[in-house]
């Protein structure tokens, strides 16, 4: 009897969730790789722009319309797969990183920095498993098929491709069980994605009207913000910005906050999607994020430059009146906030573990049982643990083989323990605030904290997971809303991984053979790559440091806030939103300010115009439409420039 019941449940589940990774969705991904990836790569090399986001909407619209014209519309599940994977295959020219390695090894810039351990110039201590030696012919022939390029490619693809994906799949299933099934976090952007997918696949007239109207508004505004400047600069070499991009910088200038608060940064994002995102987040969350962001990057920067000047001497010496928001962000992050941000993430990880301890146990128990979560497509807990520990363990052993002097136990603790903490806290933040909060320079900061004196550990590391888990968990929430089988998402990603490796190899090789990179043919690389190389050399030569005490103070601060939240909730019923507040500290003000403005407009204007219930029904669809309009305009403008440049390129 029990066996019959289980079989009936399995049949019901298989009927409820349908496959999305089919030959048609796979063909769409091949199309994106063949047509959009080279365009995106060329734009990145020439101008630093990207149409990876636009690739999603271009591919979706092309294939949904073709399928409809052929009398066999795409299913909702197929549209989901295309939506999730088009930007992956079209926006990941991974092989350009190997070209950068070649540039780094041979650049005159790196020769001006020395390894503090050996006293040698950096190019002389760069390991050959990262890139061929500086004297190798591989850099002159500009071909990945050169024998000295084979091993760096294979090692990178195995460590940061195969092992990383295995680890991320295991962590994603664990976090999905916790945050989708047990705690049921909202993941607001998952509903936005669902509304777009469902609208394009079902073509409901009512929803299409809302979607197309929002897309028109997004396209019109984006044409002013992005389209006109892009076309004027690309076609006529004239800089014309009607609205500043990506933000209105209120740090310097006539209205600059630096006049009364030196060191502070402030601005307002002009991106329409930042404004629209405020429609779908609770106003309470937006206010806390705003407070956290302004307290850190406006007041915090100011105090670090004035009151605590002796504590941050490098920041005090580097700040100059007239510095832009982006430059202040970059320098203050490196000189002031890199340590506190690591501490905040660690502190939030501890709080998340303590607050969700019972939920974690329930999710693990459900994964152990034959029924429960496993019926929804999850792998059994022993399999997930084997995947996670196997991938991280093998990556640690591989790291130890190539960097034998680095403490292996410390590396194992980081790869196996810290990865789980990062995944859980960054996924919680994504699920509650839509913010992607994964701290930069994690491994480099860890190398500093370990006291390891050599340079080789900067060029290779064990797998540190959690970077993809928030986005993948959000995608699995959308998969449930679209009734798509969980494993179809992972199968599609593995297929996308193979595609972007193959086509990235082909197209990057083609552009590299056409002309050296960097060179005048690819002007953005002549600007950006030297800046990137200088920053990295400063890390490798120990000119950028992080204070251990700041990390400890930040962890303690987060834990104290967690205690205050619990005490206030118990004594007064008031709940301090620590997660949203601390998430704001990792985000500079422009985006948060615009999101708050969007939230206020949605709450007090649009909700009155449409009515409370109606606005709740359509707000996610409105956001999806605005995002689509923006993506299409950016894609069309970039493609127009590319065609113009290609038509006039000289044959010599």
Q: How far apart, in whole angstroms, are the C-alpha atoms of residue 539 and residue 294? A: 28
Establish if 1 belongs to a structural domain. Answer: no
Q: How does DSSP assign 396-430, residue by residue? A: HHHHHHHSTTS-HHHHHIIIIIIHHHHHHHHHHHH
Identify the pLDDT of residue 602.
93
Establish if 652 belongs to a structural domain. Answer: no
Q: How far apart, in whole angstroms, are the C-alpha atoms of residue 571 and residue 328? A: 41
| 3-state SS class at 577 | coil
Our measurement of the distance from residue 466's CA atom to the centroid of its chain's CA atoms, rounded to an integer in Å, reads 11
Establish if 368 belongs to a structural domain. Answer: yes
Number of domains observed in the structure of the chain: 1
Q: How far apart, in whole angstroms, are the C-alpha atoms of residue 66 and residue 168? A: 34
* Six-digit token string for 54: 């636009």
Taking 50 as the threshold, does the pLDDT of residue 3 lie above it?
no
Q: How far apart, in whole angstroms, are the C-alpha atoms of residue 564 and residue 581? A: 13
428 contacts 455 by C-beta, under 8 angstroms: no
- Rounded to an integer, the average pLDDT of 336-363 is 81
- Alpha helix segments (H runs only) across 515-606: 523-540, 548-571, 578-585, 589-601
462 contacts 165 by C-beta, under 8 angstroms: no
Q: Are strands 267-269 and 247-249 parallel, antiparallel or unpaired?
A: antiparallel
Q: Residue 539 pairs with which residues in a beta bridge?
A: none
The overall average pLDDT reported for the chain is: 85
Q: How far apart, in whole angstroms, are the C-alpha atoms of residue 414 and residue 224? A: 46
Taking 50 as the threshold, does the pLDDT of residue 11 lie above it?
no
Taking 80 as the threshold, does the pLDDT of residue 266 lie above it?
yes
* Virtual torsion, Cα 567, 569, 575, 576, nearest 10 deg: 0
| 3-state SS class at 613 | helix
pLDDT digits (tens, 9 = 90+) for 599-612: 999 999 999 999 98
- Rounded to an integer, the average pLDDT of 406-424 is 90
Q: How far apart, in whole angstroms, are the C-alpha atoms of residue 634 and residue 227? A: 6
Establish if 573 belongs to a structural domain. Answer: yes
Listed ranges 9-13, 315-319, 334-338, 515-519; the one with the highest mean pLDDT: 315-319
Taking 90 as the threshold, does the pLDDT of residue 380 lie above it?
no
Q: Which residues contact 216 (CB under 8 A, 6 or more apart)?
A: 629
Q: Residue 456 pairs with which residues in a beta bridge?
A: none
- Rounded to an integer, the average pLDDT of 376-402 is 91
Q: How far apart, in whole angstroms, are the C-alpha atoms of residue 196 and residue 627? A: 10
Q: What share of the chain is helix, strand, coil (3-state, %, to 5)?
A: 75, 0, 25
Establish if 547 belongs to a structural domain. Answer: yes
Q: Which residue has the higher pLDDT, 70 or 367?
A: 70
- Rounded to an integer, the average pLDDT of 32-36 is 85
Q: How confident is the model at residue 643 (pLDDT cuts 50, 70, 90)?
A: low
148 exposed, middle or buried (CB, 10 Å; 0-12, 13-18, 19+)?
middle
Residue 248 backbone phi and psi in degrees, to 5: -85, 110
| 3-state SS class at 114 | strand
- Rounded to an integer, the average pLDDT of 196-221 is 86
Query: The dihedral of CA 198, 199, 205, 209: what is its sign?
Result: positive
Taking 70 as the threshold, does the pLDDT of residue 329 lie above it?
yes
Identify the pLDDT of residue 522.
81
pLDDT digits (tens, 9 = 90+) for 510-549: 888 888 888 877 877 887 888 888 888 888 888 877 777 8
- Rounded to an integer, the average pLDDT of 76-94 is 87
- Rounded to an integer, the average pLDDT of 409-413 is 92
pLDDT digits (tens, 9 = 90+) for 467-495: 889 999 999 999 999 999 999 999 999 99
Establish if 6 belongs to a structural domain. Answer: no
Q: How far apart, in whole angstroms, are the C-alpha atoms of residue 92 and residue 90? A: 6
Q: How far apart, in whole angstroms, are the C-alpha atoms of residue 259 and residue 262? A: 6
pTM of the predicted model as reported, rounded to 2 decimal places: 0.82
Taking 80 as the threshold, does the pLDDT of residue 48 lie above it?
no
Q: How far apart, in whole angstroms, are the C-alpha atoms of residue 420 and residue 417? A: 6
Task: Count the Cβ atoms, other than its own, within 10 Å of residue 651.
Answer: 3
Q: Indicate the helix (H) or strand (E) that contains 16.
A: helix 2-16
pLDDT digits (tens, 9 = 90+) for 115-160: 888 888 999 999 999 999 989 898 888 889 999 999 999 999 999 9
Taking 90 as the threshold, does the pLDDT of residue 387 lie above it?
yes
- Rounded to an integer, the average pLDDT of 197-202 is 82
Percent of the chain scoring above 90 in pLDDT: 37
Q: How confident is the model at residue 9 (pLDDT cuts 50, 70, 90)?
A: very low
Q: Which residue has the higher pLDDT, 230 or 299?
A: 299
Domain of residue 597, residue span: 14-142+159-647
Percent of the chain scoring above 70 in pLDDT: 92
Q: How far apart, in whole angstroms, are the C-alpha atoms of residue 495 and residue 209? A: 35
Please, what is the Cα angle at 578 between 574 and 580, to 5 degrees? Answer: 110
Please, what is the Cα angle at 529 between 528 and 532, to 5 degrees? Answer: 90
Q: Which of 122-126, 240-244, 271-275 has the lowest mean pLDDT?
A: 240-244
Establish if 292 belongs to a structural domain. Answer: yes
Q: Indicate the helix (H) or strand (E) that contains 267.
A: strand 267-269
Establish if 3 belongs to a structural domain. Answer: no
């Amino acid at each position: 009897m029990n066996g019959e019941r289980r079989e009936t449940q399995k049949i019901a589940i298989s009927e409820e969730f349908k496959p999305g990774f089919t030959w048609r969705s796979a063909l769409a991904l091949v199309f994106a790789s063949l047509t959009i990836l080279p365009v995106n790569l060329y734009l990145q090399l020439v101008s630093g722009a990207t149409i990876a986001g636009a690739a999603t909407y271009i591919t979706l619209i092309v294939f949904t319309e073709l399928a409809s014209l052929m009398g066999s519309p795409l299913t909702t599940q197929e549209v989901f797969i295309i939506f999730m994977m088009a930007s992956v295959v079209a926006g990941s020219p991974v092989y350009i990183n190997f070209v950068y390695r070649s540039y780094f090894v041979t650049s005159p810039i790196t020769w001006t920095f020395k390894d503090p351990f050996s006293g040698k110039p950096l190019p002389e201590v760069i390991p050959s498993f990262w890139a061929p030696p500086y004297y190798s012919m591989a850099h002159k022939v500009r071909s990945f098929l050169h024998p000295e390029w084979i091993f760096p490619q294979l090692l990178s693809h195995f460590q940061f491709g195969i092992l990383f994906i295995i680890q991320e799949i295991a962590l994603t299933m664990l976090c999905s069980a916790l945050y989708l099934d047990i705690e049921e976090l909202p993941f607001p952007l998952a509903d936005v994605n669902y509304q777009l997918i469902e609208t394009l696949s079902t073509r409901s007239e009512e929803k299409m009207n809302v979607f197309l109207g929002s897309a028109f508004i997004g396209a019109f505004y984006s044409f002013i913000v992005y389209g006109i400047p892009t076309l004027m600069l690309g076609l006529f070499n004239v800089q014309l910005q009607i609205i500043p991009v990506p933000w209105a910088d209120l740090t310097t200038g006539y209205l600059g906050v630096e006049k009364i608060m030196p060191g502070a940064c402030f601005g307002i994002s002009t991106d329409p999607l930042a404004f629209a995102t405020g429609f779908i987040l609770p106003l309470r969350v937006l206010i806390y994020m705003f407070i956290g962001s302004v307290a850190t990057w406006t007041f915090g920067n100011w105090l670090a430059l004035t009151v605590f000047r002796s504590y941050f001497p490098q920041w005090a010496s580097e700040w100059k009146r007239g510095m832009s928001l982006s430059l202040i962000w970059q320098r203050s992050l490196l000189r002031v906030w890199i340590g506190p941000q690591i501490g905040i993430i660690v502190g939030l990880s501890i709080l998340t573990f303590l607050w969700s301890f019972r939920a974690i146990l329930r999710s693990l128990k459900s994964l152990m049982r034959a029924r429960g979560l496993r019926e929804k497509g999850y792998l059994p807990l022993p399999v997930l643990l084997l995947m996670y520990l196997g991938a991280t363990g093998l990556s640690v052993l591989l790291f130890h083989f190539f960097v034998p002097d680095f403490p292996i136990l410390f590396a194992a603790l980081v790869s196996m323990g810290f990865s789980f903490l990062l995944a859980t806290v960054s996924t919680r933040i994504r699920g509650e605030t839509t913010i992607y909060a994964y701290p930069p320079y994690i491994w480099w900061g860890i190398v500093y904290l370990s006291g390891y004196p050599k340079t080789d550990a900067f060029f290779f590391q064990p797998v540190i997971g959690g970077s993809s888990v928030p986005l993948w968990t959000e995608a699995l929430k959308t998969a449930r809303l679209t009734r798509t089988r969980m494993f179809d998402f992972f199968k599609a990603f593995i297929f996308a991984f193979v595609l972007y490796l193959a086509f990235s190899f082909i197209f990057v090789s083609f552009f590299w053979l056409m002309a050296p990179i960097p060179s005048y043919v690819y002007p953005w690389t002549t600007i950006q790559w030297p800046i990137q190389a200088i920053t990295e050399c400063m890390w490798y030569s120990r000119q950028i440091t992080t204070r251990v005490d700041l990390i400890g103070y930040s962890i303690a601060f987060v834990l104290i806030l967690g205690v205050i939240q619990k005490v206030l909730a118990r004594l007064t019923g008031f709940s301090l939103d620590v997660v949203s507040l601390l998430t704001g500290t990792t985000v500079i003000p422009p985006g948060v300010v615009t999101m708050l403005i969007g939230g206020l407009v949605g709450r007090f204007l649009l909700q009155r115009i449409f009515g409370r219930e109606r606005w709740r029904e359509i707000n996610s669809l409105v956001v999806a439409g605005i995002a689509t309009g923006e993506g299409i305009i950016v894609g069309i403008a970039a493609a127009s420039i590319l065609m113009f440049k290609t038509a006039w390129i000289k044959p010599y």
